[in-house]
Structure 1
C-alpha cells in the first residue's frame, strides 16, 4: 500500500506537470521534446488531454520517454531524424535538483546526454519537478553529479575527478549489481561524483579567488561543469547551466541548457514557479 507521503509526491508531480503544460504547450507546435523520469509521465498525460493536433511529433530523450510517448498514442521522432534547420517549440523534462539560479542536476535516470541534446535543440526548456528538488544550491540534497563516461576511460576520469575535489566518484551499478555497471543508451557508464554544494554566479562573484577550486573543493556551477567536460573520456556532465533558450535567442542563436521556468509541485497541492528574469 502506498504511503501518504508517496501519494503526496505523485500528486505534486501531477499538479506541476499540468500547470507547466497549460503555460507552455502550444497545440500548433510541430516538434516538442519529452524528457525522462516519473514526472514526465504526467506531462505526457497532460499533453494528450490538451492536444488536438495529430501532426505534432515528439522527440524523446531516451528509450523510456519514447515508450511513454507511444503508450499515450502520440507520435515519436528520433532526435537525429529532425529535418535540418528545425527546432523544438519546447522541451519538457525533470531534474534531480534545481538551485536559485535555475541551474539543474540531471542524470539520475542515466539519460543526461540525450536530455542535454534535446534541451539545447528547443526554443525553451521547461522543467517539472516536485518540492524535494527545490534547493538554494546544487548538491544540497542530491549527493553527486552524474557523468557519462566511455567505459575504457573510467579509471582515468575517476582520478581526474578526485584531483578536482570529489571524495569518492563511483561507477553506478545496474539494478542487479551482479550484472555490472549500468549502461546508458550510448553504451557508456555513469560515474556519480560527490562534491561540496556548488556555488551560484552570485556566490562566485562575492568570493575571493583563493576560496575557490580544487584546494578548497568549492566550485562555481559553470566552472566545475566546464572542467569535468574537458576530461578526456567524458561524454557529458549532468550539470545544466549557462544560458537558457530565451537568452540564446536574444543573441541570434537557439537552445540553452537552463530552463526558462521550473514548476515545483508542492506538498499542499499548490505549484511553485521559479522563472528566469527574461521569461
Structure 2
C-alpha cells in the first residue's frame, strides 16, 4: 500500500513540474514584471524562472502573492518588487485548486486568495499551472473542499448564515491545524469554506452577489481572469487549455 502511494505522489509532482516548465518557457520574457503565485506547483515555476534568468541574463522583477511566494523569490535570488512600484504587471503565473472547461477557477485552498486575486487583476496575462487532478468540466466536480471566502473576523457568523439561507449548502469556518482557533490570512482575516449543494451555478452572478455582502473581503472564485492553463498529465505530456470565448474570437 505504501509503495503505490509513493508512485502516485511521484507522478503528481512530475505533472506539476512539466506543466510549470512548459508555461514559463512559453510566457517568460526579459524586461518584464511578473506576479508569483502561491502553492506547491509554483515552486517548480519559480525554479524554472530562476534557471532561465540565470542562463540568459534576463532582467525581471517579481511581485509575490503571499509570504510563501516572497520566500521563494528570496530563495532563488530573484528581484523583488511590489504593486506600489509596479501597478501593472506583464504576467502572473499561479496555481489553482480547480479549473473548469472555461478556465473559471477555485483558488484559496492555501489561504492566499485575496493577494492572489489582487496581483492577478493587475497582470496583462494570467497563466495557470496545475496537475491533471485540477482539470474539471465544472467547478465542484472534483474539488470537494468548498469555495474559500475571506471575511472580516467580526462578521464571519452572520455571513455564514446569509450564504446558507440565500444559496444553500453548508459553510464552515476554516480552523488551523497547528494551533488552536481559526486560520488567519496574511491580511488578518478569517476564511470560511462554502460547500455548495448545486455546483452548476452561474458563477459570475454568484460571485458578484457574494462580494456585495458587507464583511466579505474576497472570494476564491476567479471568473474570466485566466488566459491559459497548463495541466501536467501522468504520461509526461502537457494539456494546454484556453477559454471558450478565445476560441470564438479566433474563429
- State TM-score, norm by structure 1: 0.82
Pick aligned residue for 2:12 from 4, 9, 12: 9
Q: What are the residue-to-residue correspondences of 1:105-254 with 2, within 5 Å?
A: 105-143=106-144, 144-176=146-178, 178-199=179-200, 219-242=201-224
Q: Could you tell me which residue of structure 2 aligns to residue 66 of structure 1?
A: 70
Flag the 1:69–1:166 CA change in 2: closer, same or farther, 3 A. Answer: farther
Which digits, 9 at most, give the CA deviation of each residue in 1:149-184, with x for residues without a partner? Answer: 0000111100111023332200101122x5200000
Local SS of the residue matching 2:170: coil
Are 1:46 and 2:28 counterparts?
no
Which digits, 9 at most, give the CA deviation of each residue in 1:95-129, with x for residues without a partner? Answer: 00000110000000100000000111001000000
Which digits, 9 at most, give the CA deviation of each residue in 1:163-209, with x for residues without a partner? Answer: 23332200101122x5200000110000000113533xxxxxxxxxx
Deviation at 1:19, TM superposition (A): 0.2
Local SS of the residue matching 2:48: helix
Deviation at 1:141, TM superposition (A): 1.5
Dislocated runs of 4+, deviation >2 Å? 52-55, 164-167, 196-199
Deviation at 1:63, TM superposition (A): 0.2
**Hey, what's the Cα distance between the residues in 2 that align with 1:164 and 1:266?**
39
Q: Could you tell me which residue of structure 1 aligns to residue 103 of structure 2?
A: 102
Question: For the Cα contact (< 8 Å) 2:29–2:58, is it kept in 1?
Answer: no
Pick aligned residue for 1:270 from 234, 237, 251: 237
**Hey, what's the Cα distance between the residues in 2 that align with 1:193 and 1:43?**
29
- State TM-score, norm by structure 2: 0.91
Q: Could you tell me which residue of structure 2 aligns to residue 213 of structure 1?
A: none
Q: How many correspondences in the alignment?
A: 240
Structure 1 unpaired stretches of 5+: 200-218, 243-257
Q: Could you tell me which residue of structure 1 aligns to residue 227 of structure 2?
A: 260
Alpha-carbon RMSD across the aligned residues, in angstroms, is 1.6
Question: For the Cα contact (< 8 Å) 2:30–2:59, is it kept in 1?
Answer: no
Q: What are the residue-to-residue correspondences of 1:68-83 with 2, within 5 Å?
A: 68-79=72-83, 81-83=84-86
Question: For the Cα contact (< 8 Å) 1:54–1:74, is it kept in 2?
Answer: no
Structure 2 unpaired stretches of 5+: none
